[in-house]
Amino acid sequence: MNKNYLLCLLILSICVGCSYEFSSDNFIDLEPPLTETQYIELLDFTNMDTINVERTLRYTFNGLPNQNTISTRVLLSGQEIGVDWEGTSGTFTLRPEFYQEGTYTITIEHTFSSGSGSIAEQSGVEVITERAIYQFVVNREPSSAPAMLSAEIIDGSIYLTWSTDYGMDYTGAFLSLQYPAREIRIPLTDEELASGAYHDRSTVLYQGNSNTPDFNQYASVTYSILFESEFESNYGASQSLSYDPSSVAVEIIFNDLSTISFRWSAHPMYANFEAFEFSFFGETFSGSSQGGEYQVQTPYVFGESYDLNGRPSGTDILLPNYTYRDVPLNTDSLGVFDLEFLFVKEIVYNPATNSYFIMVIEDRQFSEYVFSIYEYSNAMEFIRKSDQITYDNVRYEYLGISIDPQDNSIIIDARGSAFRMNPTTLMITEEFTSPALSSEKLLRGNILANLDYTSRELTITNVATNTVLTPTFTNIRSLGYLSPDGRYLFVYEDSGNFLYRIDGNQLVEVLDFSQTSFSGSFEIFEDTLFYGSNNEIVIIDLVTNQSTSFQFGATQQTVQYDPVSAKLLVSQNGQNAIYNTNSQEIIRFESEYIKQARGLFSSEDRDYFMRIRNGRLFHSKGIYLDLDLD
Amino acid sequence: MKFIRNVNWALCLLTLVTGTKAQELEVFANLEGGIPFSSSLKDFHEELANQITIESFETTDNFGYNYGFTVGFRFNQNASVFFNNRVSGAKTSVADFSGFIRLTNELSGYTFGLEYEIMFREFDKSKLNLGIKGLVTPSKLTLTSESNIQNEVQSESLEFNSLDFGGALGLNYEYSLGFFTLRAHLDVNIYLGGKLTLEDDDSGGFLTDQNGDKVTTSWTGLAGGLGILIPLSK
């Protein structure tokens, strides 16, 4: 072998050397990751759901047990929003206040380790990102509030029902009570709302007087359900209740001539409060909301109109006072018929027809008055009226009617004229007329007294026999009085004041009243004379000349005698007394006498008057009271 | 270190040239294998591998053996000069469908040695010699970290050098087959390991373990070889 060759071989071996042969890598046979079973789920949400209130949504990642979350994020139309992630679920909040109305996209990106156990996974580079995309609609309006189905008053309280078909997108649900000037909102819990019913135990509707501000602000209420979102609100269909002031009926109960009680009916919502608070002439009293009766201390003025103030008390809202004006009389305790708007001149009772006749002045034309005779039944129901009669005189004070006790015909006094009217036909059967202002006539029974103003002669004539009685009076100052049966005549003469009795065709002086100061009217029943003088009422038996008297009034006393009840009614400017001629008992009472008539007769029809007829006490307003005849 | 390496090369070449002028010259070549008694490199590699916390990252090689070759010349049947190249290594790795992570330490030693043999026994066609060796071994440690995870390739290598001095005592057995002689030997190598310093770094730093102790190549161990011996001249 060549030495040089070997030398080169040795040097080459040194230069090349050898290298270490490592073992193979430690290969682990693993399955690559699969993503078929992993998904993101957004809970309680359906694609294109509407978001109209702040809403927190939860989503979950359903992965394999060995897969770990690396990151998760939510993009709202490309903009990342905050997420709270814990365990296997995350939450994020959609706040519609940040967005205009429209459609938005939610992208949930969840990045997690593969779970394969590979080197790449352990190194953190084998990650999988799962995406889920949803859309939602921003609607700032809350769900439509349910419709109110009914609002009813049952057993004095208010019961409401509403539909239970409604959406859940609201931040607040309220029962709205919309009054004309304000709204009350009662928060409803979800449970209360879902029940669809509500018992309103506090609302009381009431109305004040129309001349006060906001008098009807609590007279009606509209119930509805109100849904609120953070931005908007809406009301469901409503149901209304309103209060009619006439629903609480108030009336006056007549107890006696000096005391009354008020009676009121139940308030429609009586179960929602306990009591009314009434006030009457400074007197306040409490009355049950379910109705009741209370006797007031204020003395009753017969025929006077009364107002009563009242309002529900103890309510949540201070309700206004309402004035029950001209509280009507209870017709079981007092008779009522409507004369208020008539110019009533006189009321008489006719036993033949068992009806009442009333003279009513109906018209005035220049110097003439036109009147009719109205007939009312015993129950004071209007039956009919006569033809109109024209009274050709400017002095309506002379108009009057009376009943002829002999034939029960109706006698009409019309100063220069006198009429007899058939009570059955209401036709004039006799008429005595002279020039309008030249004389004054009185017809009683068959006796016609005629005073000629020019000659000052008084002629007394028996019209049945057409005989002029004697003596004939001259120098007469005025024709005083002719008794209903035509038996007594009272005249004012220049020489004095005398009462005559008519015996046959002769006039016989009975009493000389020349020294007597008359202060009121004059009335004779059969042989009993009644008149007012100064501060007393005098009663004289014209047969025996025995007299009695009692204190009453001062001047212008009106005296009326009712033979049926044997009671004497005396009146003066609203002060009245009923004198029992049998027992001498006197009942004193007040009555309303100032009449505020309006219209055509506002200047004449100024006073009410009282009458006692057939045991019945009348007030010319149209009120009557049957007196106890025992 | 470069200086020592150059000196060794010069010494080797000088010995080789001088030897060719000797009366009797033989060339020999052996395949070598060895088992280290212990190695701080082994502990170093384990420490290094433990820092990577990937599941199934397992060590499959860890300086458990070394192998190489030896070429040399023997003069007058008792003095030899030789060159020995041995390699050893450690490897920890894991691989799956997603890629691999690999940590390797490869150790190469280039030993220049002198041996003096004393015949111990002689037989018909064979003989048994007792050999004493002086060894100078420049070593090179290549630390490589590689990964390929989802086609993301990363690789980094660091090279460390050391100069180790040692000696050996062993038995050489030769069996003559006429033209050449079969040769086997079994030695115990004892080294004083040098510091493993980073190549191309003049800062003086060297490789240490977690305890701060220096890491050495520690070729110490049993070494054996089998080769041929060819006479070049007599």
Of A275, A290, A324, the one marking the end of a domain is A324
Domain CATH code at residue A235: 2.60.40.10
Average pLDDT over residues B94-122: 93
Of A18, A20, A22, the CB nearest to B69: A18
Q: Which amino acid is at A184?
A: I
Residues ≥6 apart with Cβ < 8 Å to B49: B57, B59, B92, B103
Q: Look at chain B and report how many structural domains it folds into.
A: 1
Q: Look at chain A and report how many structural domains it folds into.
A: 3
Task: Give the distance from residue B201's alpha carbon to the nearest chain A alpha carbon, in angstroms.
Answer: 24
Q: With beta carbons under 8 A apart, name residues in chain A contacting B45.
A: none
pTM: 0.59
Domain CATH code at residue B12: 2.40.160
- Measured between CA atoms, the residue of chain B closest to residue A121 is B98
Q: B145 is in which domain, residue-wise?
A: 2-233
A231 and A175 both lie in a single domain: yes
In a domain, A104, yes or no: yes
Contact state of A20 with B88 under an 8 Å Cβ cutoff: yes
pLDDT of A630 strictly over 60: no
Domain CATH code at residue A289: 2.60.40
Task: Give the distance from residue B96's alpha carbon to the nearest chain A alpha carbon, in angstroms.
Answer: 5
A320 and A295 both lie in a single domain: yes
Task: Give the distance from residue A128's alpha carbon to the nearest chain B alpha carbon, in angstroms.
Answer: 13
Beta bridge partners of B164: B137
Q: Tell me the pLDDT tens digit for each residue of A290-323.
A: 999 999 998 999 999 999 999 999 998 899 999 9
A254 and A204 both lie in a single domain: no
Q: How far apart are CA A406 and CA B60, in angstroms?
A: 158
Contact state of B91 with A122 under an 8 Å Cβ cutoff: no
Task: Give the distance from residue B123's alpha carbon to the nearest chain A alpha carbon, in angstroms.
Answer: 28
Q: Tell me the pLDDT tens digit for each residue of A225-234.
A: 999 987 889 9
Contact state of B94 with A126 under an 8 Å Cβ cutoff: no
To which residue do tokens 């009034």 refer?
A553
Of A324, A343, A366, the one marking the end of a domain is A324
Q: A601's torsion region: left (phi>0), alpha (psi -120 to 50) or beta?
A: alpha
Domain CATH code at residue A44: 2.60.40.1220
Q: What is the count of residue pairs from A and B with beta carbons less than 8 Å apart?
A: 103
Task: Give the distance from residue B152's alpha carbon to the nearest chain A alpha carbon, in angstroms.
Answer: 10
In a domain, A69, yes or no: yes
Of A324, A353, A377, the one marking the end of a domain is A324
Q: Tell me the pLDDT tens digit for each residue of A371-426.
A: 999 999 999 999 999 999 988 776 888 899 999 999 999 999 998 899 999 999 99
Contact state of A25 with B83 under an 8 Å Cβ cutoff: no
Q: How far does Cα A561 stand from its chain's mean position?
A: 43
Query: In 10 A of CB A610, how many CB atoms?
Result: 24
Q: Tell me the pLDDT tens digit for each residue of A573-612.
A: 999 999 999 999 999 999 999 998 888 898 889 999 999 9
Output the CA torsion sign for A405, A406, A408, A412.
negative
Quote the tokens at residue B103: 């940590």
Q: A61 is in which domain, residue-wise?
A: 39-138
| Residues of B at the A interface, defined by Cβ within 8 angstroms | 16, 20, 27, 29, 53-58, 60-61, 67-69, 71, 83, 85, 87-89, 91, 93-102, 104, 106-108, 110, 147, 149-150, 152, 230, 232
| Residues of A at the B interface, defined by Cβ within 8 angstroms | 1, 3, 6-7, 10, 13-14, 17-20, 22-30, 32, 116-123, 125-126
Query: Given strand A157-162, what is the order of strands in its sheet?
Result: A148-154, A157-162, A197-200
- Measured between CA atoms, the residue of chain B closest to residue A31 is B97
pLDDT of residue A15: 57
Q: Tell me the pLDDT tens digit for each residue of A468-514.
A: 998 888 899 999 999 999 999 999 999 999 999 999 899 999 999 99
Q: With beta carbons under 8 A apart, name residues in chain A contacting B106.
A: 19-20, 22
Query: Given strand A439-444, what is the order of strands in its sheet?
Result: A439-444, A447-452, A457-462, A467-468
In a domain, A209, yes or no: yes
Above 0.85 for ipTM, yes or no? yes
